[in-house]
Chain A
Amino acid sequence: MHIPDGILPAPVCAAGYAIAGGVTWAALRQINRTAASPAEVPKAALLAAAFFVGSSLSLPIPPVSVHLMLTGLLGALLNWYAWPAILIGLLLQAILLGHGGLTTLGVNAVMAGVPALLAGQLFRLRHRLAKALSPRAALGIFSFLAGALGVGLTALIFFGLVVFTMPSTFDPATEQNLLTAFMVAHIPLVFLEGLFTALLCFFLLRVKPDLLK
C-alpha cells in the first residue's frame, strides 16, 4: 500500500510531511534516550535492507499469491528504529527503483511507519501482559497481533485517506460498496500477515533468539 503522486491534494501531502517530521523527531528522541549501543545503527540499516529485498517475496495463497508488507515484523524486530528504516526504505524505493512517491513520501511513511512503531510497542508488552503464559505462547500470540496490527492500521489509514480525498461527485452508494469490498478483502490479509509474522518469530526463536530481544 503505497500512494503514488498526483492523487492526493497538496495540503494532505504537506500534512503528511509535517506529521512524518514530528514522528522522526519523537523516534530519534526515544533512540537517544534509551542510550542504545551504536551497534544498533548497522543492525537497523542492514535489516532494513533485508526487509526491502525480502518484501519482493510473494506468498502463495491459492489461487493467487500476495506480497506481504511485514511492517508489524519490522516494528517487532527494530522497535524505534523501524521508523527510520521505513523512511529510508521509501526513499530508496523512490530513488533506486523510480517508484515515484516523492510528494507522498511523508504520507506513505506515516501510513506504514506509525503502525510499525505501535506494533513494536505491542510486541514489547508481551513480557508484561502475558506473564501467565509460557514465553513461547506469549511470543506466538503477540507476534501474530503485531503483524495483524501493522497491516490493519495501515489499511485503515489508507481507507481514511481515500474516503477523505474521494471526489465529491462520487455516487455515495457506489463509494460505500467499493470501500466495503476493499475492507472485506483486507481482513484475510490481516490474518495472514499475523500468521506469517508469528511463524517467522518462531523460526527466529529457534535459530537466533537474539533478534527477538
Chain B
Amino acid sequence: MRRKTGSLVPLEVAILDALIELRRHGQPEAHGFLIASELRSIGDDRRLTAYGTLYKALDRLGESGAIDRRWEDPEIAASEGRPRRRYHRITLAGEAARAAADPIARRTPAADRGVATS
C-alpha cells in the first residue's frame, strides 16, 4: 500500500521528536547514531533503530523538507580520526508536519525554541 503524500510514518514522527528533544538539550543538529540513541531513550524499544531503516527514513524526511542535512567538514573528521558525519536539523516545515501528525504533540515548536530554524 502506498503512503499518502506528505504523511509521516511513526518512525518519522519519532525522529522529529528526537531532533526536537536533542535541540532542547543544546544539540541543534545531530548525526544518525545520535538520533538512533535518542530514539531508544525516548521510545519503547530497547534496541537501536536498524541502519537501513534509520537512514531511509532520514532520506525521506530530508527530501520532504522536514529536516535539513549537511555533511561535516572532512578536515574536522580527519583531525579527529573518524569518518565524517552527516548532521540533521529539523526545519520549520518539519515542526509543522510533526504538529499536524499528532494534534496532541508533546510540545509546540515555538515553546522550546530560542531561535528559528529553517
Q: Do A and B come from one complex?
A: no
Interface residues of B (CB under 8 A from A): none
